[in-house]
């Protein structure tokens, strides 16, 4: 195997059949159950030539779908000339091997598709490290299946999605050792990155921070561009953003806050991927307010909301201060859909980041929500009090400055500061008045 790294998949124009096994209580219909998977494989560049859905209490332990459906799938592969089969389920290594032996086609599961998309979109050094570790942890238990691909296809990594990624069975143990060594190296590097990010975020924790979270393709990057003017990537693709971006957002009657955009979530996000991206989500973990952006035009909006809350819980973020932002209302054909979401959730703001509708209302609500943890104070001191000014620079946001006499020996500063930080203001020739009326 040599380098244990798994390369980004070269999917080309492969022809694939999509298969999903769902519980009858999942709430999916036969015609929309595979919609999200179709969006994922479209992002990966795969051509869908057939679909198969089965509803059953539990997936078949050996091949996921029932035996009868397996025979139907064989016929579908033959009639469509499909090159691979993509499951919406996360398959065990034994299920993947059994399916490949039976169908004689490469089998790709949901986690594999998501990992491939992440690998394609990773741009920064940190994102590349995170994706590589998630890939290696996922594929370590599937090396034998990867070798089967290689034996059947004839070697190399040119087979595309799900094909030709194994080194040969004689090297399985060697590959496992190489992978374990590489995973250990990556964990060490990511720990350094995480520690550095925590220090960076902690240094600015006195500044109000807001973080965008939400389902992938909900419009978070579009919203960030709309409110900050930042030149961030906006694409109609799943997982267009993998790296946290932070920009300044000037709020009315409040001042500047730091706004961070984060990676989007999907249901059944691979656990290895969630674990790898913990450091990237440090901004969200420490934010004063989370803006949960929802695609209100999606028929799966409510399900997506629950998915985001589940992922937040998994990465240790409590949804204690969350504002639900119902986005893309310009695409909603039936207004009653938005009304239903509003009734189900208390704190909501309706916007269209693309057209700008509702952006002013959102900014006003965010200002109001943040004001609860911050207070405007007036500080009067000698102009020679360098220790105080240095402290204010680190911990407060200056709103106005007035010199109190002709000699300019004293100065009055109105600033915004976290309420809990007031007790830490350096003592001395300082007069603190709370609350202050900020200059407009």
Q: Where are the domains of the chain?
A: 15-172, 205-371, 374-433
Has residue 153 got a pLDDT over 60?
no
Binning pLDDT at 50, 70 and 90, where does residue 242 land? Answer: very low
Top CATH class, 205-371 = alpha beta
pLDDT tens sequence across 58-103:
999 999 999 999 999 999 999 999 999 999 999 998 999 999 999 9
Q: What is the pLDDT of residue 205?
A: 55
β pairing state of 255-261 and 245-251: antiparallel
CA distance 214 to 211: 10
Measured in degrees and rounded to the nearest 5, phi and psi for residue 385 equal -80, 75
Span 366-370, average pLDDT: 86
Topology given in CATH for the domain delimited by 15-172: Rossmann fold (3.40.50)
Span 110-120, average pLDDT: 83
Q: Do domains 15-172 and 374-433 have the same CATH topology?
A: no
CA distance 155 to 143: 14
CA distance 116 to 397: 43
Residue 161, both tokens: 């999605």
Q: What is the pLDDT of residue 204?
A: 55
Binning pLDDT at 50, 70 and 90, where does residue 280 land? Answer: low
Contact 289/366 with Cβ under 8 angstroms?
yes
Binning pLDDT at 50, 70 and 90, where does residue 278 land? Answer: low
**Best CA proximity match to 182, nearest among 143, 113, 129, 112:** 129
Has residue 154 got a pLDDT over 50?
no
Topology given in CATH for the domain delimited by 374-433: Alpha-Beta Plaits (3.30.70)
Residue identified by tokens 């195997």 is: 1
Weakest-pLDDT range from 104-113, 166-175, 242-251, 391-400? 166-175
CA distance 199 to 258: 16
Instruction: Please provide the distance, in angstroms rounded to a whole number, between the alpha carbons at the two ends of the chain.
Output: 65
Contact 8/120 with Cβ under 8 angstroms?
yes
Q: What is the pTM of this model?
A: 0.69
Taking each helix axis from N to C end, the angle separating 359-371 and 220-228, rounded to the nearest 10 degrees, works out to 80
Binning pLDDT at 50, 70 and 90, where does residue 327 land? Answer: very high
């Amino acid at each position: 195997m040599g380098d244990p790294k798994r390369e980004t998949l070269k999917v080309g124009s492969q022809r694939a059949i999509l298969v999903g096994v769902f519980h009858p209580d999942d709430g999916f219909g036969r015609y929309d159950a595979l919609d999200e998977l179709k969006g994922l494989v479209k992002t990966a560049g795969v051509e869908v030539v057939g679909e198969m859905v089965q509803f059953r209490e539990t997936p078949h332990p050996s091949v996921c779908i029932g035996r009868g459906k397996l025979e139907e799938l064989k016929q579908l592969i033959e009639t469509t000339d499909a090159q691979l089969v993509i499951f919406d389920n996360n398959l065990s290594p034994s299920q993947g091997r059994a399916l490949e032996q039976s169908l004689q086609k490469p089998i790709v599961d949901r986690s594999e598709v998501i990992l491939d998309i992440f690998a394609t979109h990773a741009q920064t050094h940190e994102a590349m490290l995170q994706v590589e570790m998630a890939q290696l942890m996922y594929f370590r238990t599937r090396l034998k299946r990867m070798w089967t691909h290689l034996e059947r296809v004839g070697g190399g990594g040119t087979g595309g999605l799900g094909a030709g990624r194994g080194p040969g069975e004689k090297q399985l143990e060697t590959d496992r050792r190489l992978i374990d060594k590489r995973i250990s190296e990556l964990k060490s590097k990511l720990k350094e990155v995480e520690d550095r990010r925590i220090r960076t975020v902690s240094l600015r924790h006195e500044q109000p921070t807001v973080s965008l979270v939400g389902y992938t393709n909900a419009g978070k990057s579009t919203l960030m561009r709309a409110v900050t003017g930042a030149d961030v990537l906006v694409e109609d693709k799943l997982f267009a953003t993998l790296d946290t971006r932070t920009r300044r957002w000037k709020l009315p009657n409040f001042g500047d806050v730091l706004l961070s955009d984060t990676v989007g979530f999907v249901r059944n996000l691979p656990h290895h991927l969630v674990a790898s991206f913990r450091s990237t989500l440090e901004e969200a973990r420490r934010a004063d307010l989370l803006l949960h952006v929802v695609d209100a035009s999606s028929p799966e909006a409510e399900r997506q909301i629950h998915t985001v809350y589940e992922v937040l819980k998994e990465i240790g973020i409590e949804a204690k201060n969350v504002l639900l932002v119902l986005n893309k209302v310009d695409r909603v054909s039936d207004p009653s859909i938005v009304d239903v979401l509003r009734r189900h959730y208390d704190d909501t703001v309706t916007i269209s980041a693309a057209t700008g509708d509702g952006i002013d209302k959102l900014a006003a609500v965010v200002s109001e929500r943040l004001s609860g943890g911050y207070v405007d104070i007036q500080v009067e001191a000698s102009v020679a009090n360098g220790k105080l000014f240095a402290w204010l620079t680190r911990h407060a946001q200056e709103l106005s400055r007035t010199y109190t006499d002709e000699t300019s020996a004293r100065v009055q500063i109105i600033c915004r500061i976290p309420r809990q930080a007031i007790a830490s203001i350096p003592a001395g020739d300082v007069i603190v008045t709370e609350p202050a009326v900020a200059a407009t």
